[in-house]
Amino acid sequence: MVSLFMRQPHFSFPFTHFPSVAASMRQYAFLTRVIFLFFLFASGTSVVYCPPSPKYMKNKTHNRHQAFGPGAAVAAGLIFFGAMMAPTPVVAAYVLQDNPAPVDLGSAYGFAVLSYAAITTGAPATYSGNIGSKTAAVNIAADNLIKGNLYSGAPVNVGADTTVNGNLHALTSIGIGAGAIIYGGEQAGTTVFNGIDSIIWGSIQAGSTITNAAGVVVHGTQVPNSAPQPPTALLNLALDDAVLAFNDLNGRTSQRLDSLQLGGLTWTRGVYDGLGAVDVTGVATFDAQNDPNAIFIIRSSGAMTTAADSSMALINGAQAKNIYFVPNGAATTGADSLLLGNVLASGGITYGAGAGSEGRIFSTTDAITFGAGKAGLNFGLSELAIPPVPELSIAVLAGLGVIVLAATRRRRSPQSLGVLAIFCNNTHQLIGIRSRPSGALARRLKLEAGILTARW
């Protein structure tokens, strides 16, 4: 904001040495001001007119020309030339676009994290969706909650006290830390090692040996020296589909912007493109304008960076799953920042300590690394989360309860029913029975080929 006319514009003392110049400036002061105003408005500079104070105007020793005299004109000239020499701020001026077509992720749809190279998570954190690396290890840190399956074209390593709701598939080995819980099964091309007090609810199949440390509980079958179907084909297809989606996003008609500084601006649906990097400082807002299907695509010829403590906001129905960041390079998020949207990057992706994200995270050529986590930190999308595989089938439990209760009444058994747990896989096939405080009830039940029968 520039003030062209000052309240006390008495800067004429230098002109006392040049009376002819001062007289000329006074004579053409009005014309000078008009010219300066024109150029200032043309250059986009804000101009505020501040008249001199009434008290100053009533001073008989100064006439009106002196109040708006050569000093003001010189000041205006300095302001004008300063404004012309200063860098012009770039503002992302955009127009409302038609809603882009949906993005087809193909077989990559169910993945929260997918990469060509290694994946390393931080602790603690929750990941909703499948995690897969085509060529390298998937390293899950301690104290993680993985609401999905794990796939690796190399080994899968799970840290201590981590819970995985799905299955583990590794081209080579699988290693499980102490106290970890795997609700699915384990399929390894070579060896399997389960750490102390870990619990495996599904079956284990390994191309070589299966080693269970002290206190390990395996509820399913164990088949060593029998190589399972490798996850290679699935990972190849998923990453190929991610590359197709990346190419599709890069090929769409876009609105070209001078700057991709997203922070401090509100973005509406459409495809935006710009030279250089995508940068987020402060808060970037996405406005769906009451259309829950509004799609936002922001791509760049360079990398993507979010500053520490930066964040994003969704208003009027905007959804993170419909936002796509497409850097043709690496993506890096600052510490304690929040990113809302899917990242499809051609380079590596690195999350700072405490940084969270809602959306898919895909790297088509490189690795994905997550910094140290914190309580409540989430990645992926809730709609991709899968529940623990041995989910309790309420319908089966209710039917069994009627049978058991009716039988105990007929026999008038004084034995307490206690607690009965029935575990099913994701196709509702029974895979386990546990009863407390004693196993008497469980001994009366027979589980075979997923069919439960009671003997009385």
Q: Where in 245-404 does DSSP place strands (E)?
A: 255-257, 266-267, 270-274, 278-280, 283-287, 296-300, 304-306, 311-315, 323-327, 331-333, 338-340, 342-345, 349-351, 356-358, 361-363, 368-370, 378-380
**Are 62 and 114 part of one and the same domain?**
no
Q: Which of 152-161, 203-212, 328-337, 440-449 has the lowest mean pLDDT?
A: 440-449
Q: Report CA-CA distances (Å) from 197 to 176, 191, 215, 439.
A: 10, 19, 4, 21
Question: pLDDT class for 31, splitting at 50, 70, 90?
Answer: low
Mean pLDDT of the chain, nearest integer: 78
Mean pLDDT of 350-369: 98
Both structure tokens of 187? 């399929």
For residue 86, pLDDT over 80 is answered with no
**Are 208 and 114 part of one and the same domain?**
yes
**Are 150 and 39 part of one and the same domain?**
no
Q: Is 101 exposed, middle or buried (0-12, 13-18, 19+ CB in 10 A)?
A: exposed
Question: pLDDT class for 388, splitting at 50, 70, 90?
Answer: confident
Write out the DSSP string of 29-44.
HHHHHHHHHHHHHHTT
| 143 φ/ψ sector (left φ>0, alpha ψ -120 to 50, else beta) | left
Mean pLDDT of 125-154: 98
**Are 151 and 33 part of one and the same domain?**
no
Q: Out of 194, 217, 232, pick the residue that ends a domain.
A: 232
Mean pLDDT of 66-70: 45
Mean pLDDT of 51-77: 43
**Are 56 and 171 part of one and the same domain?**
no
Q: Out of 232, 265, 283, pick the residue that ends a domain.
A: 232
State percent of the chain over pLDDT 90.
62
pLDDT score, position 285: 98
Q: Which of 17-21, 110-114, 265-269 has the lowest mean pLDDT?
A: 17-21
pLDDT score, position 40: 47
Nearest CA to 384 among 153, 154, 233, 165? 165
Name the one residue in this structure whose structure tokens are 């008249």: 51
Q: Report CA-CA distances (Å) from 360 to 105, 129, 132, 269, 416.
A: 11, 9, 12, 19, 49
Q: Is residue 361 part of a domain?
A: no
pLDDT score, position 449: 45
State percent of the chain over pLDDT 70.
64
pLDDT score, position 445: 54
Residues 94-126: tens digit of each pLDDT? 568 999 999 999 999 999 999 999 999 999 999
Nearest CA to 122 among 162, 152, 93, 153? 162
Q: Is residue 276 part of a domain?
A: no
Q: Is residue 286 part of a domain?
A: no
For residue 230, pLDDT over 80 is answered with yes
Q: Is residue 349 part of a domain?
A: no
**Are 114 and 225 part of one and the same domain?**
yes
For residue 253, pLDDT over 50 is answered with yes
pLDDT score, position 446: 52
For residue 410, pLDDT over 70 is answered with no
E strand or H helix that includes residue 245: helix 232-250
Residues 273-308: tens digit of each pLDDT? 988 899 999 999 999 999 999 999 999 999 999 999
**Are 132 and 219 part of one and the same domain?**
yes
Select, from the ranges 31-45, 367-381, 414-428, 431-445, the one with the highest average predicted confidence (pLDDT).
Answer: 367-381
pLDDT score, position 293: 97
Helix (H, G, I), strand (E, B) or coil at 252: coil
Helix (H, G, I), strand (E, B) or coil at 372: coil
E strand or H helix that includes residue 248: helix 232-250
Q: Where in 347-409 does DSSP place strands (E)?
A: 349-351, 356-358, 361-363, 368-370, 378-380
Mean pLDDT of 215-238: 96
Mean pLDDT of 119-148: 98
Question: pLDDT class for 77, splitting at 50, 70, 90?
Answer: low
Q: What is the pTM of this model?
A: 0.70
- The contacts of residue 131 (CB under 8 Å, 6+ apart) are 111, 112, 113, 114, 119, 138, 140, 146, 148, 149, 150, 151
| Contact yes or no for 432/201 (Cβ under 8 A) | yes
Total count of domains within the chain: 3
**Are 143 and 201 part of one and the same domain?**
yes
Nearest CA to 211 among 261, 175, 159? 175
Sign of the torsion angle spanned by Cα atoms 51, 54, 58, 61 = negative
**Are 138 and 78 part of one and the same domain?**
no
Between CA 122 and CA 141 the distance in angstroms is 6
Both structure tokens of 54? 């009434």
Between CA 390 and CA 383 the distance in angstroms is 19
**Are 12 and 81 part of one and the same domain?**
yes
pLDDT score, position 30: 53
**Are 75 and 160 part of one and the same domain?**
no
Q: Is residue 377 part of a domain?
A: no
Q: Out of 214, 232, 250, pick the residue that ends a domain.
A: 232
Q: Is 409 exposed, middle or buried (0-12, 13-18, 19+ CB in 10 A)?
A: exposed
Q: Is residue 267 part of a domain?
A: no
Q: Is residue 302 part of a domain?
A: no
Residue 419 lies in domain: 394-454
Q: Is residue 128 part of a domain?
A: yes
Q: How many Cα atoms are found within 13 Å in the side-chain-facing hemisphere of 313?
A: 12
Q: Looking at per-residue confidence, does 424 or 305 come out higher?
A: 305
- End-to-end CA gap in the chain: 90
CB atoms within 10 A of CB 374: 15
Q: Which of 56-70, 176-190, 288-302 has the lowest mean pLDDT?
A: 56-70
**Are 45 and 110 part of one and the same domain?**
no
Q: Which of 5-14, 81-90, 353-362 has the lowest mean pLDDT?
A: 5-14
Backbone angles phi, psi at 308, to 5 degrees: -60, 135
Name the one residue in this structure whose structure tokens are 């109040």: 67
Between CA 269 and CA 323 the distance in angstroms is 9
